[in-house]
Amino acid sequence: MEIIYASNYEDMSRKAAIAIAQQVIKKPTSVLGFATGSTPLRTYEILIEYHRQGIVDFSCINTFNLDEYIGLSSDHPQSYSFFMLKNLFRQIQLDPSRIHIPLGTALDLSRECADYEEAIQSLGGIDFQLLGLGSNGHIGFNEPGTHLNSITHVVSLSQETIKANSRFFINLEEVPKKAITMGIKSIMNTRKILLLVSGEKKAEIIRQALSGPISKEIPASVLQLHPNATVVIDQSIL
C-alpha cells in the first residue's frame, strides 16, 4: 500500500483529483467507482473544474457508486443518487446511461444486488475505485463484521454510522437503517483503489486499518492486501 500524507483537506482533494484525471486521460473509457459523503466533495469540485477547462474529457467513462440507502428514491435530496448528480455527474454532463447506482427502492433487493454485480462484470470490472473511510472503519457500507468475501448486498447500518450520517437529516429517526453496498470482495476486485481519509474521529481508525492486523472488525484493514491501493491522508486530522 502506498501511503501519502497531504498537508490538509485541499491538498488531499487535489491529489485525488489528479489521480482520477490521470486515470481518465490514460484510459478515456475507464470504469470509475465513486463514493459519497463529505470526504470527496472537494475532489469532485476540482474534477468539475477540469471538465470546464477542457483538461479532462469524462464523456466516455462509466461509473458505479459504492452504495445507496434503502427506501430513498433517487430524487430524495439525501439519496446518494441525488448527491452524485448534484455534486458531479450533472456538472460534467455525464450521460445517464453511463451512471450506475444501486436502486434503493427496488422491490426485489436481492435481484437488484445480483444485477448490480453483473453490470460491473459486463463493463469489464472497475478500473479505479475511490473510497472514503467510516469512523468505525467501514468502506462502502461494509460495517465491522462484514464477511471479507461479500459482494453487493443489503446491510443494516450500525448505530455509529446512523449517528454519523444523521448530520445530513432532520433527526436520527429520518436516517435509513438499511442500505445496498458493494461488498468487500467487489471492492477488492477493482484494479486500483484510492482511499481518502479526512474528517473528525478518523485518526485512530486509520492507524489501526493501516498497521494493525487484517480483520473483518476493521473492514478497511483488508486494503493492506490489495496489490494497487493508495491512501491519501489529510494529516491535519492526525
Q: Which residues bind ligand F6R (CB under 6 A)?
A: 35-39, 66-67, 132-134, 138-141, 199
Does residue 217 have an active-site annotation? Answer: no
Three cell numbers written together for 215: 480483520
The distance of closest approach from Cβ of residue 66 to ligand F6R in the complex, given in angstroms and rounded to an integer, is 4
Does residue 153 have an active-site annotation? Answer: no
Say how far apart CA 169 and CA 77 lie, in whole Å: 10
Say how far apart CA 149 and CA 116 lie, in whole Å: 16
User: What DSSP string describes 155-205?
Assistant: EEPPHHHHHHHGGGSSSGGGS-SEEEE--HHHHHTSSEEEEEE-STT-HHH
Does residue 2 have an active-site annotation? Answer: no
Catalytic residue among 138, 142, 153, 226: 138
Catalytic residue among 62, 65, 87, 136: 136
The distance of closest approach from Cβ of residue 19 to ligand F6R in the complex, given in angstroms and rounded to an integer, is 16
Say how far apart CA 22 and CA 40 lie, in whole Å: 17
| Cβ-based burial of 21 (10 A; exposed 0-12, middle 13-18, buried ≥19) | middle
CB closer to ligand F6R out of 176 and 199: 199
CB closer to ligand F6R out of 59 and 189: 189
CB closer to ligand F6R out of 62 and 129: 129
The distance of closest approach from Cβ of residue 157 to ligand F6R in the complex, given in angstroms and rounded to an integer, is 10
Does residue 67 have an active-site annotation? Answer: yes
Catalytic residue among 67, 112, 127, 234: 67
